Structure 1
Amino acid sequence: MDLDVLPAAKQVANHAVLDADLGVGGRHLIVISGIAIPDWKINDDQVHSEECRLRLRVPAGTVEQSTVYTGLAAIANDDTSHVFATDHARLEADESDELVLVTALAVMGEPSTLIRFSYQVVLTTRIVASEISGTITWPTAWFRPSTTTPSAIAGTFSILANLRTTQPSPGPFGGTNETLVSVTPGQIASVEVGDEKCRVSYRITDPPKGRELKVTVEQQGLQAPPGTTIFVRPAQAGGDVLTLSVTEPSRAGVDFEIIGTYIG
């Protein structure tokens, strides 16, 4: 079974993370605790075993040492022979390089329910920071910032790293449908103002690794000439789609340009 600590899933209670930067080479001491809610029901006299995979939503990095504790927190049985167990537990890293707690559960009874189990994970790890960076360029005539500080363009651009998935389009014409789920916002780092063009540099800090991402940029406030439709496009076709990894955690040069098409 698969559980997730995200609040929307409602599969964990009292989840907490303590992250202490030890100040040497990206090393962190991390303590994770909470109560998982598998609510696993059995109604026979056979012992049933199953692995529970709990996504902890904490970057794994390079784990140096770890200890894992699990214990029963809430069970139910109708006065019959029963078994309840968290036999063993271990840590893994998923495709996004985030920690997953894998716990072997066992239940028997007529009926029995393993409602909740508690967990605590303590580890030291070296976190490999990830980053996406690039520029956004537009005609100065459409918007000239009053200064070269990032605050001068506050609210002008929305920059996001999105999880990207695709699937074939239905119908006879082929193609693909794209689904984007926003995960990490970007921030403006610097501003350049020129006579013809303006340019900002941006950074997206700690986007997920091991998943296909698409960077999107939306603009609000640029004033093109009447009859002109504004488009935001990657400076290189397909350059806005990428995948980061532990060995290649950063990507620079994800640049965008803002252009206009006149419709007379």
Structure 2
Amino acid sequence: MKVLIAGNPDHVSAASALEVDLGGGRHLLVASGVAHVDRVPESGGGPAGLVQVRLGIVAFGVDQAAPLIGLAGLTGDGSGFVFAADRPRVGVDSESDEVLLSVETNGGSAGRLGSFSYQVVATILVNLSEVVVAVPSTPATPATPATPATPSVGEITAVEPGSTAIPTFPGQQSGPDPLAGLYPDRGSHVPASPAPHPIITGAITWRTDVRRPPAEDPATVAPFFTVTANAHEMTPGSGPWAPAAHLTPLAQGRITGLTVGEIECRATYEVRDAPMFRQLQMTLAVAAGFAPQSLRVERIAGPEVFDLNYVHTSEAVDFTIIQYHLT
């Protein structure tokens, strides 16, 4: 089995994901990308020929899904080339609660798979406490207690209040699951904690004689600072600048606090719901009106490039603003 991470551009290029809140604890998920199978070695833990793409989306379950795949890149080394990529399935990892796309592949001896494109449209469950299920009405005084029938596809199984079971919904498939060993029964797995809310925090310091705010109010300095969480990617480049780092803005921070001292001022910032499964780099831009002097910004604490995931959900990066001294 090969495992690809959608947030890693070496694994999946042109990766994108869109979530729309449908209410009732459900989100509509649309995810797409090009999975580069030939760049990832076999990891074991599953049958040969199985490719698993981790989409970087947290969910408690998949209500309905319509995955689509296409062969986007093939490599042939001789005649008799045969390759198939089919049976796409969408599920949720029982440990990390991450939405997964699995594709069964079958390659001939004369060739190998380079990459395939995918698109996933799914309704996912993000908050079980808000899921609305239909409970059929029953007569007030039934003549004979009815034996509950086994629900068929298209029916909804109601869940009693306080139960830890997960309801079933229309569109779920019945019968044996060829990937049952990889996707344990979700009915016995209810996450103990809600989906993580990744956050990036930090401080911005400068000498008070560079600029003294009139009050310890973050609003007095917030218009001068632009704190950005950027996607960090290395591009081939050319000449002495190869390779070169390319930054794409993903999320903006906000100033949350300000302390004015006699020698130094300190502002704090945060980026809530920061992007996950991406290589990130923080930047700080200072508007020209902040001070009449020429200024530069330096990172003084925290990593230059980092990523957030289910285990590492927070990071801190500090900056300082320094006045140029021309000689």
| TM-score grouping bracket, smaller chain normalisation | 0.5 to 0.7
Instruction: Look up the equivalent residue of 1:261 and give its one-letter code.
Output: Y
The residue aligned with 2:249 is 182
Question: Which residue of structure 1 lines up, in the alignment, with residue 203 of structure 2?
Answer: 135
What's the CA shift string for 1:160-187, capped at 9, x where partnerless? Answer: 000001145422x465311000001001
- Structure (1/2) with the larger strand percentage: 1
Answer whether contact 1:137 1:199 (CA < 8 A) is retained: yes
| Cα distance change on mapping 1:118 and 1:100 into 2, 3 Å | closer
Aligned to 2:222: 154
Q: Distance in 2 between matches of 1:250 and 1:71?
A: 32
Looking at structure 2, the residues matched to 118 and 218 of structure 1 have their Cα atoms a distance apart, in angstroms, of 37
Structure with greater contact order relative to length (CA < 8 Å, sep ≥ 6): 1
Contact 1:139–1:197 under 8 Å retained in 2: yes
How far does residue 98 in structure 1 lie from its aligned partner after superposition? 7.5
**Aligned to 1:235, which of 292, 297, 300?**
300
Structure 1 residues 224, 184: closer, same or farther in 2, change over 3 A?
same
Check if 1:260 corresponds to 2:301. Answer: no
Q: Please report the RMSD computed on the Cα atoms of aligned residues, expressed in angstroms.
A: 3.7
Q: How does 1:4-23 map to 2 (within 5 A)?
A: 4=16, 16-18=20-22
Distance of 1:168 and 1:30 partners within structure 2:
41
User: Which among 177, 196, 212 is matched to residue 279 of structure 2?
Assistant: 212
Structure 1 residues 33 and 223: CA distance shift in structure 2, 3 A: closer
The letter of the residue matching 1:142 is V
Would the aligned equivalents of 2:65 and 2:90 in 1 still touch at CA under 8 Å? no
TM-score by length of 1: 0.60
Cα distance in 1 for residues equivalent to 2:296 and 2:286? 9
TM-score w.r.t. structure 2 length?
A: 0.50
Q: Deviations over 1:83-113 (max 9, x none)?
A: xxx97641468xxx98577799xxxxxxxxx
1:247 aligns to 2:311 (yes or no): yes
Tell me the percent identity: 24
CA shift in 2, pair 1:174/1:65, >3 Å: closer
Q: Is the 8 A contact 1:92 1:102 kept in 2?
A: no
1:107: which partner in 2? none
1:75-154 mapped onto 2 (5 Å cutoff)? 89-91=89-91, 119-124=121-126, 126-154=194-222
**Given the superposition, is the C-alpha separation of residues 239 and 224 from structure 1 closer, same or farther in structure 2, using an over 3 Å criterion?**
farther
Q: Distance in 2 between matches of 1:210 and 1:5?
A: 12
Secondary structure at the residue paired with 1:151?
Answer: helix
* Alignment partner, residue 64 of structure 1: 60
- Extract structure 1 runs of 4+ deviating beyond 4 A: 1-6, 86-89, 97-104, 117-120
Give the SS at the match of 1:155: helix
CA distance in 2, matches of 1:134, 1:260: 20
| Shift in alpha-carbon separation, 1:180–1:88, aligned structure 2, 3 A | closer
- Structure 1 runs not aligned, ≥5 long: 7-14, 21-28, 37-50, 73-85, 105-116
